[in-house]
Amino acid sequence: MNSNIKNFHLPAASMSAFDIFSVLICTGIYRQILVPLVGRLSRNPKGLTELQRMGIGLIIGMLAMLAAGATEIERLKRVIPDQKSSSLSIFWQIPQYALVGASEVFMYIGQLEFFNGQAPDGIKSFGSSLCMASISLGNYVSSLLVNMVMGITARGNSPGWIPNDLNSGHMDRFYFLIAVLTAADFVIYVYCAKWYKCINMEGDEKEIQMEGREEDVLRRV
């Protein structure tokens, strides 16, 4: 892709900075705008629940993959003949990085708060470990998925979807495949979220304290 801004060359690896900026901006928007607004409408001081945040994160992640697939289609259309570059500006990748950052704000932070909020005080560290373990497992599954797609699509004389020369491949199809898998994951997630009943740890702790006080009073009597 065209990564030049007049005489300045923008390294491709620096595009991840837009992901970081998106996380910072979306975190501020969520804390300062979305939480108070949703809190007034739903009468929930937290705004969105952890399960709702994770669901929104999945939807935004799916939109990010759709944006990446659309960008890849346009990139392939503008490939310069006999060259490995495309005339499409690299800044067309900003929307997908911004969406990925927004997805991380809702998904990962909501997931961490869910594990911490639904675990008793004695095993909160275990809940955080489960959260990190699920993210690590996702990285392994991602690598496995890439290898499976490369092995299935690269048969015979076909270069496959993810060849060494991306101009002869179809990364757009891979992005759309991830979007479809994310949509299926969202459907399963909604079913499980409806089935799950959140535990009010603060309320349970107060009830235990009240019961303990009542027992102390009865003993004194």
Could you tell me the CA-to-CA distances from 8 to 11, 80, 85, 153 in Å, in that order?
10, 20, 17, 38
Strand partners, 9: 4
Interatomic CA distance for residues 49 and 123, integer angstroms:
21
User: What would the two tokens of residue 67 be?
Assistant: 């944006």
Buried b / exposed e over 74-108, threshold 16 CB at 10 Å, is ebbeebeeeeeebebbbebbbbbbbbbbbbbbbbb
Identify the bridge partners of residue 89 per DSSP, sorted by sequence position: 2
CB atoms within 10 A of CB 55: 19
Question: pLDDT of the chain along its 221 residues, tens only?
Answer: 677 777 777 777 788 888 889 989 988 888 888 888 887 887 777 778 888 888 999 999 999 999 999 999 988 888 877 777 778 888 888 899 999 999 988 888 888 888 777 777 777 777 778 778 888 888 888 899 989 988 888 877 778 888 888 888 888 899 999 999 999 999 999 998 888 877 765 544 444 444 445 445 345 54
> Distance (Å, rounded) from C-alpha 150 to C-alpha 144?
10
32: how many CB neighbours lie within 10 A of its CB? 10
CB 191 within 8 A of CB 70: no
